[in-house]
A and B are shown apart, each in its own frame.
Chain A
Amino acid sequence: GAVVSQHPSRVICKSGTSVKIECRSLDFQATTMFWYRQFPKQSLMLMATSNEGSKATYEQGVEKDKFLINHASLTLSTLTVTSAHPEDSSFYICSARDGSRDGETQYFGPGTRLLVL
């Protein structure tokens, strides 16, 4: 149990376009979802925390108008990278917390590789 999916797994886009990444909890309801960014050979950097039906909480230094997060339901959160630029190229990973269980464990998605040309 506790499976989190992400779509797409990889995307290549032109500079200036917007890209939407979906994160779904497949077999549980995610009270909270998290979005991370990971550069090669580095740790995970938390970008924002989202709770279903409310605005996301962004970490310091993360532009909320650049990275739009929507947590429309208990099983779906989306991250939209608006007007993407080459420096936005990275590995984006979502995770979800199952509030019905112990709540402590985060279940990660497989990640989305974004390349902006």
Chain B
Amino acid sequence: QQQVKQSPQSLIVQKGGISIINCAYENTAFDYFPWYQQFPGKGPALLIAIRPDVSEKKEGRFTISFNKSAKQFSLHIMDSQPGDSATYFCAAQSSGGSYIPTFGRGTSLIVHP
């Protein structure tokens, strides 16, 4: 059972464009939603995270939008750059549990120069 559904599986964007990755979750106990960025051959790195008490969080070119009622959240990368080309994973976890994140399947982003 996939508790966090992520789409699209792959995404190609031109330099300067906006990259949008969407995730949906089922477990209402989830209360922490991080996004990770992973380059080939490297471990994931935390990019940005949000809690359900806010609808949006922005850090530089990266923004998370969160819709609690729809149980959906998305990552927006503004002014996408070739260096943003990587695999992005959304995740969801519950602070009341063991802090183990449930990961989405990942989105491979390619930003063309």
Q: Please give the residue numbers on chain A whose beta carbons come within 8 Å of chain B beta carbons, in ascending order.
A: 4, 6, 32, 34, 41-44, 46, 49, 91, 93, 95, 97, 103-111, 113
> Which among B32, B89, B98, B99 is the interface contact of A43 at CB below 8 angstroms?
B89
User: Which applies to chain A's interface (DSSP): helix, strand, loop or mixed?
Assistant: strand
Identify 19 residue pairs between A and B in the complex whose beta-carbon atoms are under 8 Å apart, listed by A's number: A6-B43, A32-B98, A34-B100, A43-B104, A43-B106, A49-B98, A91-B41, A97-B99, A103-B95, A103-B99, A104-B32, A104-B34, A104-B49, A104-B99, A105-B49, A108-B45, A110-B42, A111-B43, A113-B41
Are B100 and A93 in contact, with the CB atoms below 8 A?
Answer: no
Are B41 and A106 in contact, with the CB atoms below 8 A?
Answer: no
Chain B positions 17-46 with a Cβ under 8 Å from a chain A Cβ:
32, 34, 36, 41-46
CB-nearest residue of chain B to A103: B99
Contact A108 B44, CB 8 Å, known A43-B89, A44-B89: yes
- Closest Cβ of chain A to B61, distance in Å, is 21
Contact A105 B46, CB 8 Å, known A42-B105, A42-B106, A49-B100: yes
Instruction: Report the separation of the CA atoms of residues A46 and B97 in the bound assembly, to the nearest whole angstrom.
Output: 15
Instruction: Report the separation of the CA atoms of residues A109 and B103 in the bound assembly, to the nearest whole angstrom.
Output: 17
Are A110 and B43 in contact, with the CB atoms below 8 A?
Answer: yes
User: Which A residues touch B106, using CB under 8 A?
Assistant: 41-43
Are A104 and B108 in contact, with the CB atoms below 8 A?
Answer: no
Contact A105 B34, CB 8 Å, known A42-B106, A93-B43: yes
Please give the number of chain B residues whose Cβ is less than 8 angstroms from any Cβ of chain A in the complex.
22
User: Which A residues touch B41, using CB under 8 A?
Assistant: 91, 111, 113
User: Which B residues touch A91, using CB under 8 A?
Assistant: 41
CB-nearest residue of chain B to A108: B43
User: Which A residues touch B32, using CB under 8 A?
Assistant: 104
Are A44 and B108 in contact, with the CB atoms below 8 A?
Answer: no
Chain B positions 79-113 with a Cβ under 8 Å from a chain A Cβ:
89, 93, 95, 98-101, 103-106, 108
CB-nearest residue of chain B to A105: B46
Contact A32 B44, CB 8 Å, known A41-B108, A42-B106: no
Instruction: Report the separation of the CA atoms of residues A109 and B42 in the bound assembly, to the nearest whole angstrom.
Output: 8
